[in-house]
């Protein structure tokens, strides 16, 4: 069927968001702040020579400056300021002074003149993440500390988030969203007039896709900033790509279905990020840059807390991913008995066929490797009880009571030991 000219025009609009100029789009859509010019290095920076797309659409935010109250950026800051106030009183905040001072000092080292503008909160959440609000509030989740191996890797992640703040990506995202929404309304009205019933759904899909693409550009830009911070502060830039290699490895170990779409994803694929980061790192090394990893400083702060963070990770019940995480931690060689203990815990809690036997084997390996947490004997006793091996059950429980005589469940454990012994079981 031959479509009318107006319908053909709509299809042209739908085929490319770039062929539409909205009314007034050649002028600023919003009030602007008194913005800094940004350094010439930033304005002329190249993230990847293979990419010709310019994503530097706004100058960097200026140190110590809040947006003017009449601007859309000020409204955005006011909204997230309220979220910051709730965060300050959250029960999930990590209060440990050593962790907080270390993370804070590292953020200041990377951020330089923006140190006072960035407020950092460490939050007890067992997942890989750090996030930056447009007003300079950064959240760092404790799951991140399990998934980076040294100070350079942690700096790569924190520097990436600082890049989001400096480049005002939240403001870019908000303006892009409003622009895409205006485009969507325009196309749907034109489609209805032209009599193209399915055009609205197609327009919605294209609009969502353009937003995802924009966000991926932001992520690439922040990756560049993270890389630059590593080089400037004397870290090995290759460690940034290692972070993503580790995330890929953990994700691939998952036995849960995960839908991934390059078109709709909000971030570049992890494989793409790893390849781009290692390419930038190799160029820096070719120019003579040599950097450190800072492993000892990192371990001094976080290794004492690893047991607590791993307990949190177990509660996610993503056992296949936890097993791969433990494998990577075991390769580091720090506290192997603790790692083997948690491997046993994964099998015990997962409780698939043969998992009881796998758990006992892991527990025994932990005891041979060093000094695992004393709870290992309680859990061995529980498994022996289910396997109806009463003598081994009592032996394990008695060892547990010897190591933790004041345990909250000590009375119950003693009762189990005495009753089974009297019954001749």
Asked if residue 34 belongs to a domain, the reply is: no
CB under 8 Å to 92, separation ≥6 — which residues?
Answer: 123, 124, 125
Asked if residue 49 belongs to a domain, the reply is: no
- Asked whether residue 193 falls in the same domain as residue 255, the answer is yes
Q: What does residue 189 show for φ and ψ, rounded to 5 degrees? A: -65, -45
Q: Is a pLDDT exceeding 90 seen at residue 139?
A: yes
User: Structurally, how many domains does the chain consist of?
Assistant: 2
Which pLDDT tens digit goes with each residue over 146-157?
999 999 999 999
- Asked whether residue 76 falls in the same domain as residue 216, the answer is yes
With cut-offs at 50, 70 and 90, classify the pLDDT of residue 180: low
Asked if residue 299 belongs to a domain, the reply is: no
Q: Calculate the average pLDDT of the chain.
A: 79
- Asked whether residue 82 falls in the same domain as residue 205, the answer is yes
CA distances from 189 to 94, 183, 223, 240 (A): 51, 10, 39, 46
Is the Cβ–Cβ distance between 363 and 346 less than 8 Å?
no
Which pLDDT tens digit goes with each residue over 255-267?
764 544 333 344 5
| Angle at 108 (CA atoms; ends 112, 125), nearest 5 degrees | 140
CA distance 343 to 347: 7
Asked if residue 42 belongs to a domain, the reply is: no
CATH code, domain with 382: 1.25.40.10
Residue 190 or 169, more confident: 169
Q: Tokens standing for 297?
A: 């400083």
List, in sequence order, the alpha helices (H) in 89-131.
97-111
With cut-offs at 50, 70 and 90, classify the pLDDT of residue 88: confident
- Asked whether residue 217 falls in the same domain as residue 111, the answer is yes
The secondary element (H helix, E strand) that includes residue 335 is: none
Asked if residue 48 belongs to a domain, the reply is: no
Quote the distance between the C-alpha of residue 178 and its chain's center.
Answer: 27
Asked if residue 91 belongs to a domain, the reply is: yes
- Asked whether residue 164 falls in the same domain as residue 282, the answer is yes
Domain boundary among 232, 255, 286: 286
| Structure confidence at residue 167 (pLDDT) | 87
Is the Cβ–Cβ distance between 49 and 28 less than 8 Å?
no
Residue 34 or 176, more confident: 176
- By residue range, what is the domain housing residue 341? 307-422
- Asked whether residue 281 falls in the same domain as residue 312, the answer is no
Is the Cβ–Cβ distance between 137 and 86 less than 8 Å?
no
- Asked whether residue 279 falls in the same domain as residue 350, the answer is no
CA distance 329 to 238: 19
Asked if residue 297 belongs to a domain, the reply is: no
Q: Is a pLDDT exceeding 50 seen at residue 326?
A: yes
| Structure confidence at residue 194 (pLDDT) | 53
CB under 8 Å to 420, separation ≥6 — which residues?
Answer: 390, 393, 394
Q: Is a pLDDT exceeding 70 seen at residue 163?
A: yes
């Amino acid at each position: 069927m031959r479509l009318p000219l107006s319908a053909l025009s709509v299809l042209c609009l739908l085929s490319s968001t770039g062929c539409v100029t909205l009314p007034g789009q050649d002028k600023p859509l919003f009030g602007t702040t008194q913005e800094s010019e940004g350094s010439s290095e930033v304005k002329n920076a190249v993230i990847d020579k293979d990419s010709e797309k310019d994503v530097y659409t706004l100058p960097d935010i200026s140190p110590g400056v809040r947006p003017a109250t009449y601007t859309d950026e000020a409204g955005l800051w006011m909204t997230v300021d309220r979220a910051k106030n709730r965060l300050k009183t959250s029960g999930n905040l990590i209060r440990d002074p050593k962790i907080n001072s270390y993370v804070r000092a590292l953020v200041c080292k990377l951020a330089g003149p923006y140190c006072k503008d960035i407020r950092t909160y460490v939050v007890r959440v067992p997942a890989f993440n750090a996030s930056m609000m447009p007003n300079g509030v950064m959240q760092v989740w404790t799951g991140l500390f399990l998934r980076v191996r040294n100070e350079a890797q942690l700096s790569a992640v924190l520097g990436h988030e600082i890049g989001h703040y400096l480049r005002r990506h939240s403001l870019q995202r908000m303006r892009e969203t409003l622009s895409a929404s205006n485009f969507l309304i325009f196309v749907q009205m034109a489609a209805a007039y032209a009599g193209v019933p399915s055009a609205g759904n197609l327009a919605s899909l294209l609009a969502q896709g353009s937003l995802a693409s924009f966000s991926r550009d932001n992520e690439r830009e922040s990756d560049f900033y993270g890389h630059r911070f590593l080089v400037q502060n004397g870290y090995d830039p290759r460690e940034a790509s290692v972070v993503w290699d580790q995330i890929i490895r953990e994700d691939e170990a998952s036995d849960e279905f995960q839908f991934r779409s390059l078109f709709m994803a909000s971030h570049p694929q992890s494989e793409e990020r790893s390849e781009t980061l290692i390419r930038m790192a190799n160029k820096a090394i070719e120019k003579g840059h040599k950097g450190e990893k800072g492993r000892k400083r990192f371990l001094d702060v976080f290794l004492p807390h690893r047991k607590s963070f791993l307990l949190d990770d177990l509660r996610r019940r993503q056992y296949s991913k936890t097993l791969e995480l433990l494998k990577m931690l075991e390769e580091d060689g720090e506290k192997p008995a603790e790692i083997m203990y948690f491997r046993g815990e994964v099998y015990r809690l997962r409780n698939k066929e043969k998992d009881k036997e796998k758990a006992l084997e892991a527990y025994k390996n932990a005891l041979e490797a060093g000094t695992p947490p004393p709870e290992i004997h309680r859990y061995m006793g529980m498994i022996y009880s289910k396997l109806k091996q009463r003598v081994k059950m009592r032996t394990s429980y008695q060892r547990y009571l010897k190591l933790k005589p004041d345990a909250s469940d000590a009375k119950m454990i003693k009762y189990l030991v005495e009753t089974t012994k009297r019954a001749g079981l």
